[in-house]
A = this chain, B = another copy of it.
Amino acid sequence: MSDLQTPFYLIDLAKLRVNMERIQYLRERSGAKCLLALKCFATWSAFDFMRPFMDGTTSSSLFELRLGHEEFGKETHAYSVAWADHEIDEALGYADKIIFNSLGQLDRFGARASARGIAMGLRLNPRFSTSGFDLADPARPFSRLGEWDLPRLGSALDRISGVMIHYNCENGDFDLFDAQLSRIEAEFGGFLAKLKWVSLGGGIHFTGDGYPLDRLADRLRAFSEKFGVEVFLEPGEASITKTASLEVTVLDVIHNGKDVAIVDSSIEAHMLDLLIYRETAKLPQTGDHAYQVAGKTCLAGDIFGEARFAQPLKVGDRISIADAAGYTMVKKNWFNGVAMPAIAIREENGTIREVRQFSYDDYKSSLS
């Protein structure tokens, strides 16, 4: 607990260290490089802590690319589904490697990257993935994410030195990863052997408790040696899973056929993926007193989920919503003008440091 005004996101560095040490172990044993995926987590106040454990960042836009280059440093990969003409020169100024999503983009911008000596890659879409959710499945029908035709990919070999293959999504099953990587080897191996580097993207949940890290490391090393390529991973959620909470306060308790606690936050504004993917927040589940925990926006479905507490809830009680680091702060918004959560960091010595507050002026200037 702290005296900060709720709501706020609280990043716990002691928990972050656990993930970082697993990443470092994987890097050392496998030889693979690990780049933080900024699309998932870009709270740059944590970068000083994370930097020693990781190799750099990867990005999905010019702004993420610049943030990674300027605030994280080390190796910076530039990817975007589509670069604009007016962005590309600035992007090349930040990038160590640039990964184009399509042959069309490579044709359009490759000469400029080449002139600056920047290594180029393409996104390879293997046409399968571990995603069970159509919305997030990069291999969905007519996916615009990457090239999948081998002759087309081959036609770029004179220009590219690597590919990025992103096809995992919260995949905590090593055997599935192993089988799919074997499928990639079988289908694309001849092509991969002509490259210098392969990024296997993000979505591998290898920092989870019980994940067979050694098997993953050895598999990655074998892949690297088989094709003579440097391997990259792009952990987003795996980097920061279970390291932050969203701290909220109960504002009202109502009893409309169910006990509902209304808190000073909102899924749509502050944990948007719960709404998009129709998921439930990680809430306390111990005790005899059951409540639905709901947000304070006008949205009828602004519901974090069902929870249990040891004591009846009352106005002013604090609730900690777990696992609030990934895809939360990067997509928070001003829906309903609800006060935006501050961002705070719990140091390893227990001190809590607020690194950003949001004010009425921030709300007002989000519009015009």
Contacts and interface: CB of A to CB of B under 8 A. Distances in A.
Interface of A: 5, 38-39, 42-45, 59-67, 80-86, 101-102, 104-105, 108, 131, 134-138, 140-145, 148, 166, 249, 251-254, 256-258, 260, 262, 264, 268-269, 272, 275-276, 292, 294-301, 315-316, 329-339, 343, 355-356, 360, 363-368
B43 A134 contact: no
A104 B254 contact: yes
A84 B264 contact: yes
Given A39-B298, A298-B39, A360-B66, A254 B144 contact: yes
A256 B256 CA distance: 51
A65 B337 CA distance: 9
A337 B42 contact: yes
A85 to B, nearest CB: 8
Contacts of A337: 38-39, 42, 59-65, 67, 330
A73 to B, nearest CB: 15
B331 A254 contact: no
Contact of A142 (B135, B276, B292, B355): B292
Nearest to A201: B298
A296 to B, nearest CB: 4
Contact of A43 (B44, B332, B368): B368
B356 A368 contact: yes
Contact of A268 (B140, B276, B316): B276
